[in-house]
Structure 1
Amino acid sequence: MKFKFSLILLVFVGIFLSYGQKSKIATIAPKEIFVSELISKMTLEEKLGQLNLPTSGDITTGQANSSNVAKNIGQGKVGGLFNIKSVQKIKEVQKIAVERSRLKIPLLFGMDVIHGYETTFPIPLALSCTWDMNLIKRSAQIAAQEASADGINWTFSPMVDISRDPRWGRVSEGSGEDPYLGSQIAKAMVTGYQGDDLSKNNTILSCVKHFALYGAPEAGREYNTVDMSRIRMYNDYFPPYKAAVDAGVGTVMASFNEVDGIPATCNKWLMTDVLRKQWGFKGFVVTDYTAIMELTEHGMGDMQTGSALSLNAGTEMDMVSEGFLNTLQKSLQEGKVTIDEIDNAVRLILNAKYDLGLFHDPYKYCDENRAKTEIFTNSSRSEARKIATESLVLLKNENQLLPLKKSGTIAIIGPLADAKENMAGTWSVATKQENSISLLAGIKAIVGTSAKILYAKGSNLDYDAALEEKATMFGKTLNRDNRTNEAILAEALKIANQSDVIVAALGESAEFSGECSSRTNIEIPQAQKDLLAALLKTGKPVVLVLFNGRPLVLTDENATVPAILDVWFAGSEAGYAIADVLFGNENPSGKLTTTFPRSVGQVPIYYASKNTGRPLGNKEGKFEKFKTNYIDEINEPLFPFGYGLSYTTFEYTNFKVSASKINFNESLMVTVDVTNTGIFDGKEVVQLYTRDLVGSVTRPIKELKGFQKIALKKGEKQTVTFKISAEDLKFYNSELQFVAEPGEFEIFIGKDSNTAIKTKIELVK
């Protein structure tokens, strides 16, 4: 038996060495055996190298061998790279790792593939407004297909941070304010990227971020302090992260902010107690960009101290700071970290590489034929266009101004009308902006020769050139017009007066939202507000096509403009998709996943709020002293969570529950008939909410617990059914136990969170 085992081991080692030297596809040992054997051969320096994730830096095609990063790779000091694009570059660099380093360990290659690769989908906030998990999952599948075809095997997505403050720029990159909807989207995105088998060459490793609470910074300011109770963490902010873990996400990125006074990167309660012990996460944790270095500014100590704290907490990979690489050896000698902690971190990273199939074939993502045939294809663009149409939200449509007719003279006016570089939105790092379709180009393509199209810019993004520069970074220029404001406006009014209808393309530029794009004023910039007012004075009907990466204050616009279509940033096919909806080729069906305030002073504002002991009650809209309200504003938002109009109308009737009481082992069915009562075929998102009327802790006035997006032809009726059990009524109590409590509950159903259609049920022991 000893002889047989030795022979098997010898064969295994021979295969491994053959793989390393010749870079051929190899048949290797099971993961646990293979990884353990590999770790046993590694020097401490090589182990710390696996924990090091630098950016690609000075690597360029044909010069990889002479770059500084490449030298470290050859010495086994790098575990992965990010922000390197193209099969050619990645193959060059991988070759250094598997043919020149001592142990031939392949690299991970990561990128912020956030909402598509070269085929770009709507920004994540817009994607969430589809309320269609199949479409959202499909967007991630296509992104994985394209990224993997171009050498990428790891994406820093999805971002699942709950945010209820539209001042924060990265609200654009998340899925809105609701933990239930956010959890469904987290699951869809992770399964879209990773599929059911990471060893397939068209799936990639997913990284859920930012763990945790990143979307709740004080004052809405990027990277700012976050402070909240644990009961709020568990009920409102943790669920989407947990949903991603339950879906099998391979990696987690730590957030920049502190949690309970300790930055997430070095927070052991967060990374070990919650993530691993409570949720059972088996993958590895990576820091955000230079986060370990930043622990010094947080007040946690120098680089060595921060690195040791982070490893001890359960963070395995260091992005850019190189604190692990350069300080952990000293910390090990001083007893501040253990070799077991280092080995565990290395093991988790090697496990991920094994699961991706990189030890079987380190070049599995380096097929140049795939890169030529699977990226930005016509079929992927067609799907992106369709998904984009479903993300648009019709906010107002007075006198059925929309859909527009493909006839007469149409004026397209505004700084966002001919701005293809902005259509993909923020965090679209792989997009080739020159391939995106502007609104003007999309309308011209849809209308053809059936109508006359006129165009003028009308205004710059903002009167302040410095502000516009901040909001048009990364090549997303709006080509600022240096004529006088009066001359720019006069040109617009001239064509407006020649038109039958005006399409005003206004709002934010792509980088007016996103990372480090926090705003204190969340209205349309004044230059554009002045343009819109002038266009309205012409007496021509005006459609506001609103570009934005966050909820905006639209109180003035809602009062004066007859039609408002929120198009967010709809991706590389934006122009076509918007035109499809404007002219009725597609019926808008998007629903808001964030509340739109009337005033920035209402922020944070969200539907799932709690009652105070002095609620305004049925006197909403009126001021009453010594009640919870404002002197200068009403409590209600401008547009509630779940809101969105259609070109058709829907009627809800025959709302029923199958039982008025259930016990903890039973469930009941909730049904409602939905009828398309208008003249267009359309889609409706039927939403179900609950309210726990009496609890051991205070409970929200409404909580989303189910939704279904249905398609109905004009005149068609469908019975929509939801199942409710005790599991759906659970929450975290003051002891952080996930429980359902007996008592009365209200069940609401309708087209948005303001629905008043309700009944009562009782959960009994």
Structure 2
Amino acid sequence: MRQLFLLGLYFLSMAAHAQPAQPLYKDGKAPIETRVQDLLGRMTVEEKVGQLSTVLGWEMYQKEGRQVGTSAAYRKAVDERHIGGLWATLRADPWTRKTLTTGLNPTQAAQAANALQKYAVEHTRLGIPMFLAEECPHGHMAIGTTVFPTAIGQGSTWNPALLGRMAAAIATEVRVQGGHIGYGPVLDLAREPRWSRVEETYGEDPVLTSQLGAAVVQGMQGSSLKSGRNVISTLKHFAAYGVPEGGHNGGSISTGVRELYQSFLPPVHAAVQAGVQSIMTSYNSIDGVPCSASEFLLTDVLRRQWGFQGFTVSDLGSISGIMTSHHVAATPAEAAALAINAGLDDDLSGYGYDKALLDALKQKLVSAETLDRAVGRVLRLKFEMGLFENPYVDVRQAARQVNSPAHVQLARQVAQESVVLLKNKQNLLPLAKSLQRIAVIGPNADNLYNQLGDYTAPQPASNIVTVLEGIRAKVSAATQVTYVKGCAIRDTSSADIAAAVAAARQAQVAVVVLGGSSARDFKTEYQSTGAATVATGPQALSDMESGEGYDRATLDLLGRQQELLEAVVATGTPVVVVLIKGRPLNLNWMAAHVPAMLDAWYPGQEGGNAVADVLFGDYNPAGRLPISVPRHVGQLPVYYNAPRPARQSYVELDSKPLYSFGYGLSYSQFAYSGLRVTSTESSGAVSVAVRFTVKNTSARAGDEVAQLYLRDDVSSVVTPDKQLRKFQRLYLKAGEQKEVQFDLTAEDLMLLNQRLEWAVEPGAFTVMIGAASDDIRLQGQFSVKQLITVSTTAL
């Protein structure tokens, strides 16, 4: 018996030894770099190239009734092309042809993600999990998610901490539905308001954009990508995409190296310092070199100077665009080679690399080492996220955490803080809730999608609160609220201005909601990149005049909106204009003739509640403009921190904007006093402490945004007359005062000199403290005695 037992143990031992050992890359306890190299050593060239393909994802699932699974197109892409990632799988919009009916709710989205992941893990030779990337500029672009204000509204909050909380909420909603990468934030500087994508930016200033962008990156990524709540942040667009000539989306950029380093690169560098793990290239070229093929940007700056460790990804189709748009490559293989050799790792489209990259490898335009470098960067983050150990999500969590009450309340807070009070003559605002008759007029007063902005999925109507609904919820049943649309945003074929006038005449106040729209519809045609094609011809016009692809030649109110406004104002009834839009518009007439104006940008799903909170005084507005509002397109560009000399006025009009960067009113008043500036120098360093007091001199509590601007009085290269360096949004009770301290270091004082070296030059500096770039309340000076050189990696 004992012999039989020992014989059994022997055969069990032999069987165990006969089983193949687990591959090292599947050992969750092994170092990540070891796992990456082990996996690379097992992959074929075709599998490596496939890992660099992030293909369009919304055709990769199949929905039949309540059942969701993989599509034949997905299985073919995995089996034949070995793809490594999907983009916008859960996206729904007219471009993808996914509606509230044909798209996925949060539970179905999690089911779809699990099904896609299961096939990749169980039906491929190496079982490499899939990356799912999703659009997240102001919420996850999927059905049923929380829709926050667009970025230009987020920028108006001047509140990095709040945006960090918002980003964490967005990341959670993506991750519980099975996504891993969130596309956002957009860190382009918007100094060209004719450009269609202004709404996606934080405005015109590098310091404000840097701080807000870094907060969003940290909120999305958290402290661990394995948390189950965080995602990889992919910032966009690298680089200088927001100032195209003539406002043409994707157009060439005219900028020198010094301006590139001093203005356009700092926000990206701040995000790298904040730990961003993914960066998307832009469609444009700089000085004749497409950004998607720029070794200077993708390798010299990003990796050698800044030490970026994540992976880069093309914008949709931009690798192919090296050949088809920029014409600096003759074949797809040449375009793929230019991109990957420059340092572009991942292909968003699936057709920029794929066969073209295989051909480039065969033609020896790309080395095996270059391929492994790119693939390794993508795989490294799959390991860091723990996808090899935990590729799936808990389907039950999606419905619980997506658009949760806490996230809805947060959307309302972001919208409240984003509202900019532009004018309030004779304190018309806040309105009394005891008013008996209110007219609510205008094309954006009760339009769900016009207040949500571009990159928004279809949403249940019950999730969205319009301005009309917000106002009705504020007043009692005894108050008569009359609504008249009056006209459309663009279409002039029909209007009911007479009815609007009649309603205004009967009202004690008229709230007129005007502006623009980025709302896409199923009649609009779209380019392969997803950008809209501007329609021409006799068909009825959609409201869309902003959003990707909708560049403007003028900034005037379109359609019959101006006619509507003038007719309502002519009634003599007090008028409050609420602006819902994605870019600065021509506000000259209303600024002269309308007593009260609010700018709400695209305020998101809680926009109606937030606007009503401000209108009736339940929230004291403190939003500040993150972008200057021009008087005329002939002034452009009109950003506040343009290089000296000061711009002279035109024959026809002033050179100054109508409203300057940093501007915004409040129902409270604030006084600044007691400026003290103390500078300290030591070997190779300088520190400047700026202290002052802000006091709420009114009887109402509110927020103030204290802003510090700096001028290098005499410099070896041309610098701006003023440049924002510090800011703080602070809450003050009625009569309360607080001391504010801002600390400046060499990085705040430095410039890029004529030798292209970062340095703080000896001489005088002027400190300006105020409530806006053109509302300076306190001013002081300090001097730097010795030249201070700054490391080039400091930017």
Amino acid at match of 1:576: N
Mapped contact 2:681–2:687 kept (Cα < 8 A) = no
Amino acid at match of 1:94: Q
Q: Which residue of 2 aligns with 1:478?
A: none
After superposition, the Cα gap between the structure-2 partners of 1:262 and 1:13, relative to the gap in structure 1 and judged at 3 Å, is farther
Mapped contact 2:415–2:603 kept (Cα < 8 A) = yes
Pick from 75, 96, 116 the counterpart of residue 119 of structure 2: 96
Distance (whole Å) between structure 2 residues aligned to residue 228 and residue 546 of structure 1: 33
Q: Which residue of 1 aligns with 2:54?
A: 53
Q: Which residue of 1 aligns with 2:616?
A: 583
The correspondence of residues 137-536 of structure 1 with structure 2, limited to 5 A, is 137-297=164-324, 298-300=326-328, 301-363=330-392, 366-407=393-434, 408-429=436-457, 431-432=459-460, 435-449=463-477, 451-464=479-492, 484-485=494-495, 488-511=496-519, 512-536=545-569
Q: Which residue of 1 aligns with 2:84?
A: 79
Mapped contact 1:536–1:561 kept (Cα < 8 A) = yes
The correspondence of residues 578-657 of structure 1 with structure 2, limited to 5 A, is 578-612=611-645, 615=646, 628-657=648-677
Distance (whole Å) between structure 2 residues aligned to residue 393 and residue 16 of structure 1: 58
Pick from 547, 552, 559 the counterpart of residue 585 of structure 2: 552
After superposition, the Cα gap between the structure-2 partners of 1:579 and 1:744, relative to the gap in structure 1 and judged at 3 Å, is same
Mapped contact 2:70–2:112 kept (Cα < 8 A) = no
1:113 positional shift:
1.1
Amino acid at match of 2:72: S
Worse-superposed segment, 495-504 or 68-77:
68-77
Distance (whole Å) between structure 1 residues aligned to residue 239 and residue 352 of structure 2: 22
What is the CA deviation profile of residues 662-718 of structure 1, one whole-angstrom value per residue up to 9, with x for unaligned ones? 885342321221111122111000000110011110111001110111111111111
Mapped contact 2:68–2:112 kept (Cα < 8 A) = no
Amino acid at match of 1:317: D
Q: Which residue of 2 aligns with 1:704?
A: 724
Mapped contact 2:420–2:623 kept (Cα < 8 A) = yes
Distance (whole Å) between structure 1 residues aligned to residue 23 and residue 697 of structure 2: 67
Distance (whole Å) between structure 2 residues aligned to residue 263 and residue 11 of structure 1: 54
Distance (whole Å) between structure 1 residues aligned to residue 729 and residue 736 of structure 2: 15
After superposition, the Cα gap between the structure-2 partners of 1:12 and 1:46, relative to the gap in structure 1 and judged at 3 Å, is farther
Mapped contact 2:155–2:626 kept (Cα < 8 A) = yes
**RMSD, aligned CA:** 2.1
Pick from 120, 125, 135 the counterpart of residue 152 of structure 2: 125
1:323 positional shift:
3.1
1:749 aligns with 2:774: no
1:540 aligns with 2:561: no
Amino acid at match of 1:43: T
Distance (whole Å) between structure 1 residues aligned to residue 513 and residue 205 of structure 2: 29
Worse-superposed segment, 750-759 or 238-247:
750-759
Mapped contact 1:197–1:203 kept (Cα < 8 A) = yes
After superposition, the Cα gap between the structure-2 partners of 1:18 and 1:232, relative to the gap in structure 1 and judged at 3 Å, is closer
Worse-superposed segment, 343-352 or 721-730:
721-730
Q: Which residue of 2 aligns with 1:668?
A: 688
Normalised by the length of structure 2, the TM-score is 0.87
Amino acid at match of 1:693: D
Distance (whole Å) between structure 1 residues aligned to residue 658 and residue 730 of structure 2: 26
1:735 aligned counterpart, secondary structure: coil
1:559 aligned counterpart, secondary structure: helix
Q: Which residue of 2 aligns with 1:569?
A: 602
Amino acid at match of 2:136: V
Distance (whole Å) between structure 1 residues aligned to residue 37 and residue 58 of structure 2: 32
Gaps of 5+ in 1: 1-6, 20-25, 466-483, 617-627
Distance (whole Å) between structure 2 residues aligned to residue 63 and residue 260 of structure 1: 48
What is the CA deviation profile of residues 272-302 of structure 1, one whole-angstrom value per residue up to 9, with x for unaligned ones? 1111111111111111111112222211222
Distance (whole Å) between structure 1 residues aligned to residue 340 and residue 684 of structure 2: 42
Q: Which residue of 2 aligns with 1:713?
A: 733
Distance (whole Å) between structure 2 residues aligned to residue 273 and residue 296 of structure 1: 23
Mapped contact 1:660–1:761 kept (Cα < 8 A) = no
Q: Which residue of 2 aligns with 1:759?
A: 780
Amino acid at match of 2:661: F
Q: Which residue of 2 aligns with 1:3?
A: none
Gaps of 5+ in 2: 1-13, 91-108, 520-544, 787-795
Q: Which residue of 2 aligns with 1:38?
A: 39
1:431 positional shift:
4.8
Worse-superposed segment, 598-607 or 558-567:
598-607
Normalised by the length of structure 1, the TM-score is 0.91
Mapped contact 1:580–1:586 kept (Cα < 8 A) = yes
Amino acid at match of 1:763: V
What is the CA deviation profile of residues 540-582 of structure 1, one whole-angstrom value per residue up to 9, with x for unaligned ones? 0000001111111211110000000001111111111111111
1:156 aligned counterpart, secondary structure: strand
Equivalenced residues, count: 717
What is the CA deviation profile of residues 346-365 of structure 1, one whole-angstrom value per residue up to 9, with x for unaligned ones? 100000111111011111xx
Amino acid at match of 2:35: F
After superposition, the Cα gap between the structure-2 partners of 1:641 and 1:610, relative to the gap in structure 1 and judged at 3 Å, is same
1:17 positional shift:
9.2
After superposition, the Cα gap between the structure-2 partners of 1:53 and 1:430, relative to the gap in structure 1 and judged at 3 Å, is farther
Q: Which residue of 2 aligns with 1:67?
A: 72
Mapped contact 1:662–1:764 kept (Cα < 8 A) = no
Identity of paired residues, percent? 38
2:690 aligned counterpart, secondary structure: strand
Distance (whole Å) between structure 1 residues aligned to residue 779 and residue 19 of structure 2: 65
Distance (whole Å) between structure 1 residues aligned to residue 390 and residue 29 of structure 2: 10
1:751 aligned counterpart, secondary structure: strand
Amino acid at match of 2:737: K
